[in-house]
Amino acid sequence: MRVAVTGAGGRLGRALIAALEDAPFTGPAGPTAWTRADFDLDFPAGIVPLLERDRPEVVINAAAWTDVDGCARNPSLAGARNADAVGVLAGAAAVAGVDLIQISTNEVFDSRRTDGRGYAPDDLPDPINAYGASKLGGELAARRAFAGGRGQLAIVRTSWLYGPPGNDFPQKILAAADRARDAGQPLRVVADEIGSPTFSEDLAEAIVGLLWAGDIRGTHDGIHHIVNTGHTSRAGWARELLRQLGRDDPIEEVPASTWPRASTPLLWGVLAPTPLPDGELMPTWQVALAHYLPTLRRQLVEAGAR
Ligand SMILES: NC(=O)c1ccc[n+]([C@@H]2O[C@H](COP(=O)([O-])OP(=O)(O)OC[C@H]3O[C@@H](n4cnc5c(N)ncnc54)[C@H](OP(=O)(O)O)[C@@H]3O)[C@@H](O)[C@H]2O)c1
């Protein structure tokens, strides 16, 4: 199976390339990595010659403008990159008979759920910030394009991604914990944002598993919620990270409103996971975090050496 990945230099993109290189179905040539130099969301028409050049059977669109505060400050650019460009990509793929996996987000939901359950794929999206609105626009544009196309479309929503190359929540929290310790202060972390931290490598493996099982290629307009299982607050995530590193830094739980942001964060951003092939479950978020620690430690050493 010839698989191309956009945003191949990003957090999820690089995990997807690594997982696809190990997959038995991508053949000796392996996956095709499209970086911004190959496919630029600001010049999406470039997808047509790219599809002709590389002839993928499946495209995984992991490229997006993921700066949520930047999107809030410039919603029209967010819409151009995360919605309109996806429409152009999906339109070209659908015409060429190429399947598309569009990566999306928990931020398409409104955060107002109060029954303690995660959002399911058939819950109605209703975004509360510009990033979520632009990503929902991408989902809808892709669905419109594939409504009359020959290929298959799958939408994979996820949340709170972390993993190599770092500069993610775990790495930022450790830097903040060091600063707080040096200042003799507790580490202040938001306690009223709840979500499911998801390790990029687990998500990539799950997407490869779906491709292998044929679930994505066989599921037109299928929506998959893929996250590590369980949920926690930002403060719970920080506490577990420090615990796993053998640290007991004091944490002061604060509301999200402590740090006003351009974007409105989701206080309840939990996705109900959809079943994976063979009934497998994604690892819990705590187990996934433990898997990341050796890489995180290496990244911290490298960051310190720079
Ligand atoms: N991060 C999260 O917590 C999270 C949560 C839910 C869903 N998602 C979704 O997961 C997907 C992957 O996100 P990620 O965490 O891997 O984000 P990321 O690390 O920011 O990667 C995004 C990729 O998109 C590329 N990109 C950005 N602007 C572009 C443009 N104008 N033209 C072409 N490429 C562009 C980036 O290229 P450069 O490397 O050149 O900048 C990068 O490779 C996205 O669809 C995102 O919406 C992310």
Q: What is the mean pLDDT of the chain?
A: 94
Q: Residue 300 has which token pair? A: 């911290």
42 in contact with ligand 1, CB cutoff 6 A:
yes
Query: What type of residue sits at position 217?
Result: R
Q: Closest residue (by CA) to atom 28 of ligand 1?
A: 65
158 in contact with ligand 1, CB cutoff 6 A:
yes
174-218 pLDDT tens trace: 999 999 999 999 999 999 999 999 999 999 999 998 888 875 555
Distance of CA 25 to the CA centre of its chain: 23
Residue 18: burial class (beta carbons within 10 Å; 0-12, 13-18, 19+): middle
Q: Residue 229 has which token pair? A: 């299982």
Q: Which residue of 5, 36, 89, 223 sits with most ligand 1 atoms within 8 Å of its CB, as the best mutation to test the pocket?
A: 36
- Enclosing H/E stretch for 203: helix 200-213
Q: What Rg, from alpha-carbon coordinates, does the chain have?
A: 19
252-306 pLDDT tens trace: 999 999 999 999 999 999 999 998 877 888 999 999 999 999 999 998 888 876 6
CATH class of 3-161+196-225: alpha beta
At 187 the pLDDT is: 97
pTM of the model: 0.97
Alpha-carbon gap, residue 15 to 47, rounded angstroms: 22
159 in contact with ligand 1, CB cutoff 6 A:
yes
Tell me how far the alpha carbon of residue 166 lies from the centroid of ligand 1, in angstroms: 13
Query: Would you say domain 163-194+233-269+285-305 falls under CATH 3.90.25.10?
Result: yes
Diameter over CA atoms, the chain: 61
pLDDT > 90 fraction of the chain, expressed in percent and rounded: 87
Q: Is 275 left (phi over 0), alpha (psi -120 to 50) or beta?
A: beta
Alpha-carbon gap, residue 280 to 213, rounded angstroms: 12
11 in contact with ligand 1, CB cutoff 6 A:
yes
Q: State the catalytic residues.
A: 131
Alpha-carbon gap, residue 253 to 76, rounded angstroms: 35
Query: What type of residue sits at position 226?
Result: I
Query: What type of residue sits at position 170?
Result: P
The DSSP letter of residue 83 is I
- Enclosing H/E stretch for 247: none
Confidence of residue 110 (pLDDT cuts 50, 70, 90): very high
59-71 pLDDT tens trace: 999 999 999 999 9
* Contact of 74 with 18, CB cutoff 8 Å: no
At 220 the pLDDT is: 46
* Contact of 19 with 3, CB cutoff 8 Å: no
Tell me how far the alpha carbon of residue 134 lies from the centroid of ligand 1, in angstroms: 13
Tell me how far the alpha carbon of residue 67 lies from the centroid of ligand 1, in angstroms: 9
246-265 pLDDT tens trace: 999 999 999 999 999 999 99
Alpha-carbon gap, residue 147 to 150, rounded angstroms: 9
**Where are the chain's structural domains?**
3-161+196-225, 163-194+233-269+285-305
